[in-house]
Amino acid sequence: MLAAAVAVLVGAVMVREVGCVEGLGLSRSQRRRAAELSKQCPGWLVFQRESERCPEGVYVARIGGRFGVRIANGRYPRWSPDGRWIAYLAGSNVCVMNAQGRARRVVATTDDPQPHALAFHPSGREIWFTDGDRLRAVRLADGVTRTVMSNVAVRGLAFSSDGGRMVISVAGHRMFALVVTNGCVVQPGRRLGRGCSAAISPDGAWYSDLDGRHVCIRLRRWDDDSVVAILDGPERWPVDNESWSNHARWIAVRTERPGPVDVWVWDLDSKRAVRLTGTGDVNRPHLWVHDPRTGRVRGWLDWWRARWLGGP
């Protein structure tokens, strides 16, 4: 009887943990700037928090909102191309859930107890993920898993929106550009230089480079590797874990120690970064932006915004 009561209590605590709504820790002036950003960038941020109180939790927050919602226990969350699903890692499992944190399921299990990275394929039909020294892909419809690359310790990966170009970072802070044809990588890849994060613009024309020093983000042209822009770290803090959104204008990035461990979004039109979290324990941000030309976000996302995160 006592064991059953303890189990019920533990279950209730876990429900509260997963469903908890928490402030993003921003000052009034920072919230005002985030609200201004939301007018041009009507987006949703998914990220990981890594505090002792709440280890490895996946959160979702609206750009310009005051709160984030813990929707799963896990890490390294990534949006699907249409913004309806989120892939993430939980232990050695590759998991997927809808954007409300429901319909959670394990789609693949790795041999690596702590796989490093994953990404939705732009088709939305597969999730590509690291498994030790292999890069693998799992088909969401039936769970069939295949090996894409072997004998390479991938630490980060990102696709162009057509799926034809990919950048990866591998062990040793090396980056490579890869061409993907019919879901298969054309090898060998082109060496891009040093970096521990991998990001590519949706059109595949540019990729990012931290140059191994993390003091700025260099944006380089895919065709000739020439530098087209340099984004200094916000307030001169080091940066890491940059990820291009589905819209070419915005990049999410994390500042790191000795600065605050928080999320910012770079607007490439204005060359300005806006801070979106102030909790000091955030990692692996990924931003999904709906096309402003379509007007209001429809259906489930409107409900989610009204129910949990408030209006703009």
Cα–Cα distance measured from residue 51 to residue 239, given in angstroms and rounded to the nearest whole number: 19
What is the CATH class of 28-291?
mainly beta
Residue 197: the pLDDT is 86
Give the chain's radius of gyration (CA, Å): 19
Bridge partners (DSSP) of residue 178 are 166
Smallest CA-to-CA distance from 167 within 116, 126, 209 is with 209
E strand or H helix at 184: strand 184-194
Residue 292: the pLDDT is 52
Smallest CA-to-CA distance from 140 within 57, 84, 199 is with 84
Q: Spell out, as residue ranges, where the chain has pLDDT lower than 70.
A: 1-17, 52-54, 291-312
Cα–Cα distance measured from residue 4 to residue 264, given in angstroms and rounded to the nearest whole number: 44
- Conformation bin of residue 183: beta by default, left when phi > 0, alpha when psi is -120 to 50: left
Alpha helices in 137-288 (DSSP H): none
- The dihedral sign for the CA sequence 110, 111, 117, 119: negative
Residue 187: the pLDDT is 76
Smallest CA-to-CA distance from 254 within 243, 235, 241 is with 241
Number of neighbouring beta carbons within 10 Å of residue 125: 13
- Conformation bin of residue 18: beta by default, left when phi > 0, alpha when psi is -120 to 50: alpha
Order of strands, sheet of 239-244, starting from the edge strand that comes earlier in the sequence = 239-244, 250-255, 263-267, 272-275
Cα–Cα distance measured from residue 10 to residue 279, given in angstroms and rounded to the nearest whole number: 26
- The dihedral sign for the CA sequence 242, 190, 150, 138: positive
Cα(first)–Cα(last) distance of the chain, in Å?
A: 48
SS3 226: coil
- Considering the entire predicted model, what is its pTM? 0.88
Domain boundaries, the chain: 28-291
Q: Are 168 and 127 in contact (CB under 8 A)?
A: no
Map tokens 């070419």 to a residue. Answer: 248
Q: Are 77 and 68 in contact (CB under 8 A)?
A: no
